[in-house]
């Protein structure tokens, strides 16, 4: 089984792609969450652009955090007793927790790197500044693998 991998580090998150003759594997870790996804190559051609840019969940989390910070400010502004101050503080804590979970500030950068190798130890990892070009080359190779298996 041959395998190629590409690692992309962005906002202290690590994304790894790999594929063999039948499946495309997508491994990623965001904050403390480890996700492993596996897609058949034949069904993948319409999903290739899915991971470019920010995911919808990341955008929604930033919107939630922003709204919670604003709500905390409004409650703090109109606070008349200690309970309202506590509620505004809780809004800020939840917003900060959402942001830290998205960008992984609680974890050191090295701990977000996933280790994966297939049985033949055929491993490709890209860690320098030419990540965009390497990702495009990887996706071209993946498209060729999909076409060859159909």
Selection from 58, 66, 47 nearest residue 10 by Cα: 58
For residue range 1-38, what is the model confidence (pLDDT) as tens digits? 344 444 544 444 455 666 666 666 666 665 566 666 67
Q: Quote the CA–CA distance of 109 and 11 in Å, as a whole number.
A: 9
Q: Quote the CA–CA distance of 86 and 99 in Å, as a whole number.
A: 20
Question: Over 50: is that where the pLDDT of 117 sits?
Answer: no
Q: Domains of the chain: which residue ranges?
A: 4-149
Radius of gyration of the chain (CA): 20
- Report the helix count and the strand count for the chain, using DSSP H and E: 3, 4
């Amino acid at each position: 089984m041959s395998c190629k991998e590409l690692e992309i580090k962005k906002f202290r998150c690590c994304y790894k792609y790999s594929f063999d003759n039948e499946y495309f594997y997508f491994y990623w870790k965001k904050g403390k969450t480890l996700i492993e996804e596996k897609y058949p190559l034949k069904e993948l051609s319409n999903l290739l652009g899915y991971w470019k840019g920010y995911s919808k969940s990341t955008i929604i989390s930033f919107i939630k955090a922003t709204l919670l910070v604003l709500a905390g400010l409004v409650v703090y502004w109109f606070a008349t007793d200690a309970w309202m101050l506590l509620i505004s503080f809780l809004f800020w804590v939840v917003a900060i927790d959402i942001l830290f979970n998205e960008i992984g500030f609680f974890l050191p950068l090295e701990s977000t790197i996933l280790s994966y190798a297939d049985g033949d130890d055929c491993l490709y990892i890209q860690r320098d500044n030419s990540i965009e070009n390497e990702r495009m080359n990887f996706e071209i190779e993946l498209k060729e693998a999909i076409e060859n298996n159909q």
